[in-house]
């Protein structure tokens, strides 16, 4: 069986690298990787390929652009490769423009599509990702759901065929790579963090970071807390806006380039508090039992809110202050069974082998 995974963005490299290792143990499966090139800066792409020993077979070099431009260019390139390679199945991951382009290109060529991270909904159609999720799920044959909520969302939309509750492959990935990160990462030394508390911040949602005034308000709100060091590995989208914020408003924040996955796991695991608008980082905070404030009004991952490990604070300074005040670790441990306990890739593999 020939399978092509379509990837393009940082979180997809991480998940596809994990699944790739599992599928590689099965000689009856040929698994190729097609990178649309949506993420291309060295710290968003090459850093991951090297560290995860993951090298896509095709690179479309689509780069940045408007949604139509990025998705359209990716579809043109994906179609050409699918026509040449004639895979039995295309796998897409998550909710980016690369996900949408991969799913649409495949379904139009009558190639079955499997969606890893199917069924997630924010119910906010102004998020580009929400549109990508809805369209991708609607054309996918296999819907690999990471959580019970994702299964319920699809059920509520009337989807029955092909819905498989696999658990979250990001948990498998974390469990596999965390011991390696502990062995190999020197990020705490590099950042001169010696057993002291720090907060870890990431932001990249257009709604939060594209407008200078809004981003400045959030960063200023963090500065007005009683805070330890705040480390901010900054996504390139956010860097572009930060250039227009006066240095004085950023004094209290240590802005660094995005770090590798192993380095990031170590930072998360040692952070006193994680503040983020990322889907992946919210879950990793939960998996690692680190308190998290999500700088959004809603989440596709409500399981992380259980027992207060994750709190939705949006970008309102008062809510951020209240979240910081309540940041202590809850007494009840995170429930990893809600995310499949680390067996997602095994369940995905079994579903693929039974095709």
Identify which of residues 44 and 351 has a Cβ nearer to ligand UD1 in the complex. 44
Identify which of residues 41 and 319 has a Cβ nearer to ligand UDP in the complex. 41
Shortest distance, CB of residue 206 to ligand UD1, whole angstroms?
7
Identify which of residues 82 and 295 has a Cβ nearer to ligand UDP in the complex. 295
* DSSP at 330: P
Shortest distance, CB of residue 98 to ligand UD1, whole angstroms?
7
Query: Is residue 3 within 8 Å of residue 349, measured between CB atoms?
Result: no
Identify which of residues 67 and 325 has a Cβ nearer to ligand UD1 in the complex. 67
Shortest distance, CB of residue 256 to ligand UD1, whole angstroms?
15
Identify which of residues 100 and 349 has a Cβ nearer to ligand UD1 in the complex. 100
Give the contacts of 182 (CB within 8 A, at least 6 positions apart).
266
| Residue 39: active-site member | no
SS3 string, 197-266, reads CEEEEECCCHHHHCCHHHHHHHHHHHHCCCCCEEEEECCHHHHHHHCCCCHHHHCCEEEECCCCHHHHHH
Residue with tokens 């890739």: 345
Shortest distance, CB of residue 233 to ligand UDP, whole angstroms?
3
Query: Which residues contact ligand UDP (rule: CB under 6 A)?
Result: 10-11, 14, 94, 202, 204, 233, 258-259, 261, 264, 278-281, 284
> Which letter, b or e, does each residue of 130-140 get, where b requires 16 or more Cβ atoms within 10 Å of its Cβ?
bebbebbbeeb
137 touches which of ligand UDP, ligand UD1, none (CB within 5 to 8 A by kind)? Answer: none
355 touches which of ligand UDP, ligand UD1, none (CB within 5 to 8 A by kind)? Answer: none
SS3 85: helix
SS3 30: strand
For the chain, helix, strand, coil in percent to 5 are 45, 15, 35
233 touches which of ligand UDP, ligand UD1, none (CB within 5 to 8 A by kind)? Answer: ligand UDP
Shortest distance, CB of residue 95 to ligand UDP, whole angstroms?
7
Shortest distance, CB of residue 149 to ligand UD1, whole angstroms?
19
* Partner residues linked to 294 by β-bridges: 276, 312
Query: Which residues contact ligand UD1 (rule: CB under 6 A)?
Result: 9-11, 38-41, 44, 64, 95-97, 128-129, 204, 235-237, 240
Identify which of residues 205 and 327 has a Cβ nearer to ligand UD1 in the complex. 205
* Partner residues linked to 232 by β-bridges: 255
308 touches which of ligand UDP, ligand UD1, none (CB within 5 to 8 A by kind)? Answer: none
Residue with tokens 């910081």: 324
DSSP secondary structure of 305-324? GGGGSEEE-TT-HHHHHHHH
284 touches which of ligand UDP, ligand UD1, none (CB within 5 to 8 A by kind)? Answer: ligand UDP
64 touches which of ligand UD1, ligand UDP, none (CB within 5 to 8 A by kind)? Answer: ligand UD1
Q: Pick the catalytic residue from 204, 207, 235, 252.
A: 204
Residue 313's closest CA among 294, 327, 300? 294
Q: What positions carry a catalytic annotation?
A: 204
């Amino acid at each position: 069986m020939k399978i092509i995974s379509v990837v393009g963005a940082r979180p997809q490299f991480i998940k596809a690298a994990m699944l790739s290792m599992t599928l590689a143990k099965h000689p009856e499966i040929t698994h190729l990787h097609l990178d649309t090139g949506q993420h291309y800066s060295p710290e968003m792409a090459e850093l991951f390929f090297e560290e995860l020993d993951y090298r896509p077979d095709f690179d479309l070099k689509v780069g940045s652009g408007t949604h139509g431009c990025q998705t359209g260019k990716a579809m043109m390139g994906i179609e050409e490769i699918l026509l040449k390679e004639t895979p039995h199945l295309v796998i897409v991951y998550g909710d980016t423009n690369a996900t949408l382009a991969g799913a649409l290109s495949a379904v139009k060529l009558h190639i079955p599509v499997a969606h890893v991270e199917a069924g997630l909904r924010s119910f906010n159609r102004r998020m580009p990702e929400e549109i990508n999720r809805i369209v991708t799920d609607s054309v996918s044959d296999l819907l690999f759901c990471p959580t019970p909520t994702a299964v319920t969302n699809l059920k509520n939309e009337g989807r029955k065929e092909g819905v498989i509750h696999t658990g979250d492959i990001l948990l498998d990935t974390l469990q596999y790579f965390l011991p390696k990160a502990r062995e190999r990462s020197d990020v705490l030394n590099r950042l001169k963090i010696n057993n002291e508390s720090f907060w870890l911040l990431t932001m990249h949602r257009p709604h939060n970071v594209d407008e200078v005034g809004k981003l400045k308000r959030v960063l200023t709100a963090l500065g007005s807390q009683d805070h330890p060091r705040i480390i901010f590995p900054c996504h390139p989208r956010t860097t572009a806006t930060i250039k227009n914020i006066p240095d004085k408003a950023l004094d209290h924040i240590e802005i660094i380039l995005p770090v590798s996955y192993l380095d990031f796991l170590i930072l998360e695991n040692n952070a006193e508090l994680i503040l983020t608008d990322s889907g992946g980082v919210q879950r990793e905070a939960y998996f690692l039992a680190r308190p998290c404030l999500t700088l959004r009004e809603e989440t596709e991952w409500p399981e992380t809110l259980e027992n207060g490990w994750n709190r939705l604070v949006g970008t309102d300074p008062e809510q951020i202050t209240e979240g910081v005040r309540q940041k202590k670790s809850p007494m009840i441990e995170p429930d990893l069974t809600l995310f499949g306990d680390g067996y997602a890739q095994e369940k995905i593999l079994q579903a693929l082998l039974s095709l």
